[in-house]
Amino acid sequence: MPIYKAPLEDVRFVLDEIVGLDKLSALPGYEDATPELVGQVLEEGAKLCEEVLFPLNQSGDGEGCHFENGEVRTPKGFKEAYSTYIEAGWQGLACDPAYGGQGLPKLVNIMLEEFICSANLSFGMYPGLSLGAYNALAMYGSDELKQRFLPKLVDGTWSGTMCLTEPHCGTDLGIIRTKAVPDGQGGYKITGTKIFISAGEHDLTENILHLVLARLPDAPAGTRGISLFLVPKFMPNADGTPGARNGVACGSIEHKMGIKASSTCVMNFEDATGWLVGEPHKGMRAMFVMMNAARLAVGIQGLGLAEVSYQNAVNYARERLQGRSLSGVKAPDKPADPIIVHPDVRKNLLTARAFTEGARALGALTAYHLDVAEKHADARTRRDADEFVQLMTPIVKALFTDIGFDSANIAVQVHGGHGFIWETGVEQYVRDARICQIYEGTNGIQALDLVGRKLPQDMGRLLRHFFHPVGRDIEAAMEKDELGEFVMPLAKAFAKLQQATALIAQKGLKDPEEAGAAASDYLRLFGLVALGWSWLTMVEKAQAKLAAGEGNAAFYEAKIKTARFYMTKLLPQTNSLFITIAAGAKPLMDLEEAAF
Ligand SMILES: Cc1cc2nc3c(=O)[nH]c(=O)nc-3n(C[C@H](O)[C@H](O)[C@H](O)COP(=O)(O)OP(=O)(O)OC[C@H]3O[C@@H](n4cnc5c(N)ncnc54)[C@H](O)[C@@H]3O)c2cc1C
């Protein structure tokens, strides 16, 4: 049976030492988010995830969703768990109090999302999609739409979806065909088919609000001709209750590799009534609000799966007895030593651990900047924070989901043949993690976003929000002997990143295919350096705590040892990534298409 315990101690370390909760509660509007309150919220959230959501994860995977007569039934226990979730107010944790939310920082919500994704990713999809719909509507909806619909999304009695994908288009949304025609009464009639719609139909809420991309009759071609519409499953009555059925129905659900308890629906819109969200033809802008938040959220899905995979791998490695330690018997009273003594097993465990803890710190820092971008009193600080988030979004999405998949795979490997068996529980994590690398823009598309958009934006201004603080921290760390062994590998990797950036900027200007060819390797190189930066900060804080004799010494010592592993065993991958980047596009583009 798989296990899961929310990593409260590590989250607390990240919040207190890497981000600084005092800085968070100093932001206007977050005065109530004191360290005590945040601690209580996370402890309660941990309990919900461990005791309510996690026990449904494997059974949900085994049972999957049911589709009968156009209706979807979620697996046993999901409805009750969802009721528990919304009754306790979790859906509105970081939402605006004006609509019934609790107004807590996004950072706190993102930490909770990690727990949810570890405990039950399929379950997490339903509230996650609702939050995405809330974000888009809160930013671009008219006052009337906001008043009417946001309180329902915040209290969780209604849920939301993102309807972008169509049978012929996923990445290239410029070619969508769904149509919207004005109905003469201020609304629109939407017609078209959307596929792969998560939470498109289910039995958890009394109504579902679809955010749908469609084209108006006079729309220009491409992404500049896409508008966003709000289309409810049931038309709301004047008193806010769900009324008549709208022209939208679920045609079928997908039978798929993972997240089986999350419904993935074909949604048919036929003269469905909807309302414009934002301006005509500017739907992509509104959708990007939803997608950017969703991209960070998907990165956190990867982190959640990495954590639970790691925990299960360690648990098994302590129990499983096979072979004897190469340095002499470690458990003489047993027929064999636990496999955790073997260097290769430890390498697997430490890889998952170092990536997971590094990602948690980097994810928290990014989420903190989201809060600063929204709440800080100073406009320039808000802009800088927003640009940091923009830069980090493709990295968090792609790197963390790769880490999630790799860690799940590691957990299977550590379990040996037992890992391949469904009952053990870890092969589900591999299957569940795989989609995170694909949806919300594939990881390849994230890499193109990084090199094609974020790198050149405003003459490299976004980039400087990362390069400058990293450079400064490296310089400062060089002055401290005790950081020497950690900062030297980081300084070398950072130099490689700077070289790679210059190379791509130079070659990519002349030939965009050069930038495209380097993109995925560059994102990985960037991500490894970003994690190295997080590890340097963590080491410094851990050393300070040990020197002061404060807190749990074993925890801080483990941090330092894991940092050493990261800097010496994982970060050097930046060297080979640089060599691959420098090899350019030719080896990829040389082979004629017909020869494939
Ligand atoms: C379980 C599940 C849930 C989903 N949930 C939702 C949802 O709720 N709402 C929604 O709208 N969609 C959803 N999707 C759809 C998902 O977002 C798309 O599958 C994804 O964006 C990729 O689109 P595609 O499948 O059409 O692949 P394609 O766009 O056909 O891409 C195929 C491959 O080509 C690559 N590629 C494509 N274009 C380029 C390019 N220009 N340069 C380089 N490489 C390129 C891609 O990286 C990919 O590897 C979901 C999908 C699944 C499977």
Domain ranges of the chain: 447-584
Over residues 304-327, mean pLDDT = 98
- pLDDT on residue 342: 98
User: What is the residue with the minimal CA distance to atom 37 of ligand 1?
Assistant: 171
Could you give the residue ranges of the DSSP H alpha helices within 64-192? 78-87, 106-140, 143-155
DSSP 169: B
**Closest ligand 1 atom to 213 CA:** 11
Burial of 87 (0-12, 13-18, 19+ CB in 10 A): exposed
pLDDT tens digits, one per residue of 94-129: 999 999 999 999 999 999 999 999 999 999 999 999
Could you give the residue ranges of the DSSP H alpha helices within 479-552? 484-510, 512-548
Cα(544) to ligand 1 centroid in Å equals 45
**Active-site annotation holds for 440:** yes
pLDDT band at 330 (very low <50, low <70, confident <90, very high): very high
pLDDT tens digits, one per residue of 440-486: 999 999 999 999 999 999 889 999 999 999 999 999 999 999 999 99
User: What is the residue with the minimal CA distance to atom 30 of ligand 1?
Assistant: 170
The token pair at 328 is 């002499």
The token pair at 515 is 């930038």
DSSP 408: H
Taking the C-alpha atoms of residue 235 and residue 255, their distance in angstroms, rounded to an integer, is 30
**Closest ligand 1 atom to 161 CA:** 8
pLDDT band at 391 (very low <50, low <70, confident <90, very high): very high
Cα(443) to ligand 1 centroid in Å equals 10
Degrees, nearest 5: CA angle 100-114-151: 15
Taking the C-alpha atoms of residue 191 and residue 269, their distance in angstroms, rounded to an integer, is 5
Cα(71) to ligand 1 centroid in Å equals 25
442, 443, 448, 522: residue to mutate for ligand 1 pocket, most atoms within 8 A of CB: 442
Taking the C-alpha atoms of residue 299 and residue 284, their distance in angstroms, rounded to an integer, is 21
532 neighbors 568 (Cβ within 8 angstroms): no
Question: Which residues, judged by CB distance below 6 Å to any ligand atom, belong to the binding site of ligand 1?
Answer: 162-165, 170-171, 196-198, 256, 264, 435, 438-439, 441-442, 444-445, 448
| Contacts (Cβ under 8 Å, ≥6 apart) of 302 | 359, 400, 401, 402, 403, 404, 405, 433, 436, 437
Cα(48) to ligand 1 centroid in Å equals 32
- pLDDT on residue 508: 85
Over residues 210-234, mean pLDDT = 95
For the cut 80, the answer to whether the pLDDT of residue 418 exceeds it is yes
Over residues 329-338, mean pLDDT = 97
**Closest ligand 1 atom to 162 CA:** 9
Question: Which of these is catalytic: 440, 485, 513, 540?
Answer: 440
Over residues 279-284, mean pLDDT = 91
β-strands 158-163, 207-214: how paired? parallel
272 neighbors 231 (Cβ within 8 angstroms): yes
Cα(116) to ligand 1 centroid in Å equals 24
pLDDT tens digits, one per residue of 503-551: 999 998 889 999 999 999 999 999 999 999 999 999 999 999 999 999 9
For the cut 90, the answer to whether the pLDDT of residue 289 exceeds it is no
585 neighbors 521 (Cβ within 8 angstroms): no
- pLDDT on residue 285: 81
Percent of the chain with pLDDT over 70: 100
For the cut 90, the answer to whether the pLDDT of residue 308 exceeds it is yes
171, 202, 262, 284: residue to mutate for ligand 1 pocket, most atoms within 8 A of CB: 171
- pLDDT averaged over every residue in the chain: 96
Taking the C-alpha atoms of residue 127 and residue 85, their distance in angstroms, rounded to an integer, is 9
Residues 419-432 as b or e (16 or more Cβ within 10 Å = b):
beeeebbbbbbbbb
pLDDT band at 172 (very low <50, low <70, confident <90, very high): very high
**Closest ligand 1 atom to 440 CA:** 17
pLDDT tens digits, one per residue of 61-82: 999 999 999 999 999 999 999 9
User: What is the residue with the minimal CA distance to atom 42 of ligand 1?
Assistant: 445
- pLDDT on residue 458: 87
Q: How many CB atoms lie within 10 A of CB 3?
A: 13
Cα(505) to ligand 1 centroid in Å equals 27
- pLDDT on residue 459: 86
461 neighbors 383 (Cβ within 8 angstroms): no
433 neighbors 404 (Cβ within 8 angstroms): yes
For the cut 90, the answer to whether the pLDDT of residue 291 exceeds it is no
pLDDT band at 35 (very low <50, low <70, confident <90, very high): very high
Q: Which residue matches tokens 């109504």?
A: 207
527 neighbors 399 (Cβ within 8 angstroms): yes
**Closest ligand 1 atom to 165 CA:** 11
**Closest by CA position to 90, among listed 35, 48, 137:** 48
